[in-house]
Every structure is written in structure tokens, then in C-alpha cells.
Amino acid sequence: MDGPRQVRKDEVGDLVDVLSDIFPFREWYSRDYMVSRMSRARSWRETLVIVEDGRPVSHIRTVYNNVSIYGCRVKVASIGSVGTHPDCRGRGYAGAILKQTMEQMVKRGAKVLIVSGGRSLYRRANCVPAGRRYEAEVRSADLGGQTSDLTVRQVTPEEWPALAPLHQAENVRFVRNVGFFSGLVFWWDCQYPQIWVVESRGEPLAYVSLALVWGKESEKRRRVAAEYAGSRAALMDALPTLFEAADLQVISLEVLGHDAELLYLLRQREIVPRTKTLSGTHRILDLPGMMRRLRPYLAERLPRVDMRRLRFDQTEEQCVFSYGDERLECGLSEAAPLVLGGPGAPKVTGELERVLSAIFPVPFPTPGFNYI
């Protein structure tokens, strides 16, 4: 066994074959296309593998991004296509490679880990469901006809510069350079995402991403709206036209927990969203570092005396929240629901409860196009 270590560029072809044995990538892409996408520097330099007999057999790819939370930037890490070849399972490879990956994340300054899945491998590493999200099933019959002059059209990733200002105006979002689509690895579009823009007299007012329900490619007339930006009122007014243009019956609209405006507009139409957590699972990697990055956000919610008395610490096994003489120690699997929201958060009492309830849950974005 060799590794965990960074994959070498001349091993990318073998790695693509292994990933295709684990995941159904061959159903969507040619081998040449996958190799070309993974051979770019950003792809293979952030990939760790374990090698047997000169061939990668276990794999984790990491992507680093920043999220903006009311102007505060927090570095996050995401992992994807985590797997071990069936012939080599049961040897502890996945756990070993995940442990080293998370150690590297902390060294690279990541504060939160976002995982696309929730299997036992991640749960053992204290990655748990967290964050606030609502899910609304919207049907064309719920909406009636469109009464505005809004138009909708499908756009390509190359047209992102026209949509970027809408995304940039979001209070809680991933930070993206204008060419970020060109850096995505091939599996980001396994769900055949479409981007639709809502316009008034040619001016973009909102956009929404529509993707197939994972694993249900046969349900062509049902889509998941996992990312949107811009005017919520324009988006809701344009939905009847969007249903017709996209030939859809149902849109499962994922609404971030802090988006009171869209929740209000849905309830006005008697559409009642269901409470959910953010997609995948999350782990707090560096609680003190995260709170330092969020200090301007905290300062707008807490008076100076509370800011001075509030402390955050973290060890390998737990997170610590302190206010004066009051102290809460909790496991890492409880920290993410406490900070980001969700089930499983520990009970907080006293003055510490008053202070933490003013700042938690921290609004957090769903990955959207940054999905890995």
C-alpha cells in the first residue's frame, strides 16, 4: 500500500477507471472527457489516493471555497466522489484517507467541512445534518397564470457574467470568480442542471437552477431548484411561464432558512414549506477561527460587553462555548447543529443561552453550483 498521498498526474487515467467502477460515470461521460477534466492542476492537486500495485484504489477529492455571510468571508472545504474499489474494501482505506484529508483542511485554513453524503464513514468523522433549509413542492396548478410582462429563457454557463451581479447581491452565498464554471470537474453536472433567467425588457431580475432529482432520471418533468438569486417576487411571478417553457409539472424549491421574503411569498400562495437541513452533512473544523471571521456579523447582534465575555475553543473531540463563568462543552457532532441550526444541538441555559440565541444559527448557503 502506498498512501494516502496526492495523486500523480500520470495516474489520473487509472483513477478515472476506478471511479467509474465505483460510480456510474460511464453512463454520462466518455473516458477521454473525464481524464481531460481531471488532468487540470486544480483537480489532481487536491486529490488524495491510496495506491495498490501501482494503481489508485481509494480516492477523495477536496475543493476549497469561501462563503460570504453578510460580508464576512469564511473558508470552507468540500469533498466528493469518496470511494474505494470494491476489491479493496474492508481495509480501513477510506477512514485513513478521510482523516488525512481533514488534517490538511485545517492546515489550509478551512473552518467548515461540507460533505455531499451522509453515510457511516462521514458520521464516524462527526459530519452530521445541519443548517436551516425549507423545501416547497410547487406545482403549476398552485400558481394560476402569469399576469406580468416577465420573460424566462434558458442560459448556458458561458452567460454567467450576466447573472453574477444577481448572485453577488445575495447576503449568504459562495464567493465565485467570474470563470468558476470552467474549473468544475465533470461530475458537477450529473443531474443535468439547467439555468433559467427571469427578465423584464431584457434586464435580468432573477435566476434559478433546475436539476433532475438524483437517481430519478426518468422523472423528466420534476426538477429541484437548488439555487436561485435576485428578486424573489419576480421569480414567483415568472414561475407559471417557467413551468410551461421547461415543460415541468413539479419544482421542488429549496429555500434557505434565512430567506424570510421567499417563505412569505410561498405562504401567500398557500404553499407550506417543510423544514429540512442543508443538503449533505457538515462538520465544524475550526470553531474559534470561524467565529473570528464572523466577528463583524456578531458585533451587529451583540453589545460590546457580551462580545468581550464570549469565547470559543475547540479540541480534537469537542467544541467549547463560554460566557463569563458559564461553559458549554459538546462533541463535534453537536457543534454543527448548534452553530448552523438543525436537530441534535445540545441544550443551552442561562446567560450563555441568551447570547448564543442572538447569533446562532449562523445563516449558511447550500452548495448549488459548487456541489461536489
Do 54 and 77 fall into the same domain? Answer: yes
| pLDDT exceeds cutoff 60 at 126 | yes
User: Rounded to an integer, what distance in angstroms lies between the CA atom of residue 79 and that of residue 98?
Assistant: 9
Buried b (16+ CB within 10 A) or exposed e, 311-335: ebebeeebbbbebeeeebebebbbb
Q: Tell me: do 149 and 260 sit in the same domain.
A: yes
Q: Which domain holds residue 345?
A: 287-359
Three-state DSSP state, 238: helix
CA torsion angle 156 160 166 169 (round to 10): 150
Q: How many residues does the chain have?
A: 372
102 and 139, same domain (yes or no) = no
- Look at residue 147 in the predicted model and tell me its pLDDT: 67
Residue 335 lies in a domain: yes
Show the cell assigned to 72: 464576512
Phi, psi of 158 (to 5 degrees): -65, -20
Q: For 206-265, write each residue's pLDDT tens digit.
A: 999 998 876 555 577 899 998 999 999 999 999 999 999 999 999 999 999 999 999 999
Residue after which a domain boundary falls, among 110, 145, 177? 110
Number of domains in the chain: 3
**Same domain, yes or no, for 139 and 266?**
yes
Q: pLDDT confidence of 355, banded at 50, 70, 90?
A: very high
169 and 266 inside one domain: yes
- Are 269 and 295 contained in the same domain? no
Per-residue pLDDT for 191 more than 70? no
Model pTM above 0.85: yes
Pairwise CA distance, residues 1 & 333, whole Å: 31
Based on the domain organization, do 200 and 308 belong to the same domain? no
